[in-house]
Amino acid sequence: MHDHSSAGQILAVLFDLDGVLTDTAEYHYLAWKRLADELGIPFTREDGDRLRGVSRRPALEIILGLSGRTGSEDEMQEWMTRKNAHYQELITRVTPADLLPGVATLLNGLRKRGIKIAVASASKNSPEVIRRLEIEDSIDQLVHGGMVERQKPFPDLFLRAARELGAEPAACIVVEDAAAGIEAAIAAGMVSVGLGPEERVGKADRVFADLEGVTADNLLGIA
């Protein structure tokens, strides 16, 4: 636990999307499950949990590894494209009701305090999800994986978001539910807040079970 200077200096909060603001993790699971079924690879919910926060190619490699399969570069590309098509079909079901409990109130509370808000997501589909959740007016910036070279656990996505918001990294809080995201936040020199079980986000500066009941003051560390 490193001591960041007083919370009064926090200017921005960067939220991961999947599993933090909405549970699109379920749709990712269903899309991978459908691909695994098509490829004849057994794929369980536990396997699905291992893919949390993992970008598309490494996720596909994990799935292929379950059955010792490999694919040519062309096959890999085709399978990734197919998974993405399954996912895009599923997210047409997203509505504002899919915002996780506590999120709308928290975004509102941060706004009232003049805190800048970004969504920083590896997913190139995030603009579509944000639109369907109807939170475009509640955030200042959206930065996605297509806008940076290196994905989490590299800090590039969060650093890009901070730059877009005009905030120094040390003045930013990152809210994440995946270990790779927490590592990226730490590498970026930002305050990290983890959501979920300790074993997944234990390296974070602070850990909450989820955002339900978390106020702007809780998040900013103001007692």
Say what the pLDDT of residue 8 is. 53
pLDDT digits over 93-103, tens only? 999 999 999 99
Catalytic residue among 16, 47, 156, 205: 16
Task: Pick the catalytic residue from 18, 47, 98, 156.
Answer: 18
What DSSP state is assigned to residue 204?
Answer: S
Q: Is 137 noted as a catalytic residue in this protein? A: no
Nearest to 22 by CA among 96, 77, 98, 83: 98
Question: What pLDDT does 4 receive?
Answer: 47
15: CB partners within 8 A, 6+ apart: 21, 117, 118, 119, 120, 139, 175
Residue 204: pLDDT band (50, 70, 90) is very high
Distance CA 52, CA 177 (A): 9
> Where do the domains of the chain lie, and which CATH numbers do they carry?
7-23+97-220 (3.40.50.1000), 25-93 (1.10.150.240)
Statement: residue 133 has pLDDT above 90: yes
Q: Has 18 been annotated as catalytic?
A: yes
Per-residue pLDDT, 1: 42
The share of the chain scoring above pLDDT 70, in percent, equals 96
- Residue located via tokens 């539910």: 177
Rounded CA-CA distance 44/165 in Å is 40
